[in-house]
Amino acid sequence: MPATLDPTTSHILPEDTREISFREALREAMTLEMRRDQRIFLMGEEVAQYQGAYKVSQGMLEEFGPERIIDAPISENGFAGLAVGAAMYGLRPIIEFMSWSFSLVAADQLLNNVPKMLYMSGGQWGCPIVFRGNNGAGGQLGSTHSWTVEALYSNIPGLKIAIPSCPADAKGLLTTAIRDDDPVFNLESERMLSEKGPVPEGDYAIPFGQAALRRGDWSGERDSDCTLVSFGRPVNFCTDAADELAKEGIACDVLDMRTVRPLDIDSIIESLKRTGRIVVVDQCWPFASVASEVVTQVCERAFDYLDHQPLRVNTDDVPTPYAKNLEAEYLPHKGKIMRAVKSTLNLG
């Protein structure tokens, strides 16, 4: 059962924080968990000798050795299948995909074996595996390298899907993912790996299914005008849009879903009750997207609270362009979000 947002504590970090990057936060989560549990190993293309294509696993081969930090050939179906077998017999693999775009090469393992194993074996074998790596447009990588896969994988029962939007959540969500006995897909953004932010020292885990309030004042002094809901990198576009809209006297709640499976729909509806308007921002294509699911659940559970039809801001419904200017316009961005919010207020 998803927890309902506690607006007073949901995004307040412990005091023992320091500024590190998104990639350092991911590395710290894996390193601390591998020190804690000898059953955990990391496998993927270039994770060992090269220390990760994006240096997320830098220094880990030196600490844990080649039996736990394992280079794999370009064979996603092969090393995903190896992880399934290892997990069935007691190990806890972390599998790095250099790009989630090519996780589709391992589709049979990811869609047909991993999520169904516990159910089909009558509870005899689980798959406590974390699959993680870069998801979405990386900056002029072309359409085959720029898949955004959460809409596809969130359709599958048995999978949990975490999508961090800041370094603290990168550590906290990945820690929870590694400790989870179910398979978890951790979708990261290549465009955010160098971004820095406050991250707690030591043990730090974030419960799945608990959204975070990134903007908004739930103290009771004033209700906001519109609820913005998003996850991953677009959360930052939403906070930028909310800051600009505030200069025009328009107040927005910004909710970061953190996990799309499980989905904290209760917190989304609690915000909607305060605002009467909702815009869901999603870096997937619009048809059958995560935003589509959120809008459907809002209409089913809170229709009477809506003062305007729910709106979605997705990527354009075309393959990801290569040209820099076209790619920037194709993705959700601050201008699109501001126009959508104003539309719910009949201001544009």
List residues with catalytic annotation: 76, 145
Displacement of CA 11 from its chain's centroid (Å): 16
132-to-93, 95, 190 alpha-carbon distances in Å: 11, 6, 12
User: What is the C-alpha to C-alpha distance for residues 182 and 156, in angstroms, rounded to an integer?
Assistant: 13
Q: In angstroms, how far is the first alpha carbon of the chain from the final one?
A: 39
Q: How many helices (H) and strands (E) does the chain have?
A: 12, 14
User: What is the C-alpha to C-alpha distance for residues 290 and 261, in angstroms, rounded to an integer?
Assistant: 10
Instruction: Taking each helix axis as running N to C, give the angle between helix 167-179 and helix 22-36, from 0 to 180 degrees, rounded to the nearest 10.
Output: 30
DSSP letter string, 320-346 = PPSSHHHHHHHS--HHHHHHHHHHHTT
Residues whose CB falls within 8 Å of the CB of residue 223, separated by 6 or more in sequence, listed in order: 251, 274, 275
**Residue from 325, 345, 212 nearest 277 by CA:** 345
Does residue 83 contact residue 43 with C-beta atoms inside 8 Å? yes
CA angle 309, 313, 315 (to 5 degrees): 145
- Map residue 191 onto helix, strand or coil: helix
**Count of beta carbons in the 10 Å neighbourhood of residue 347:** 11
Decide: residue 199, CB within 10 A, 0-12 exposed, 13-18 middle, 19+ buried.
Answer: buried
Q: Where are the alpha helices (DSSP H) in the chain?
A: 22-36, 60-64, 76-88, 107, 117-120, 150-153, 167-179, 234-247, 265-275, 290-302, 324-330, 334-344
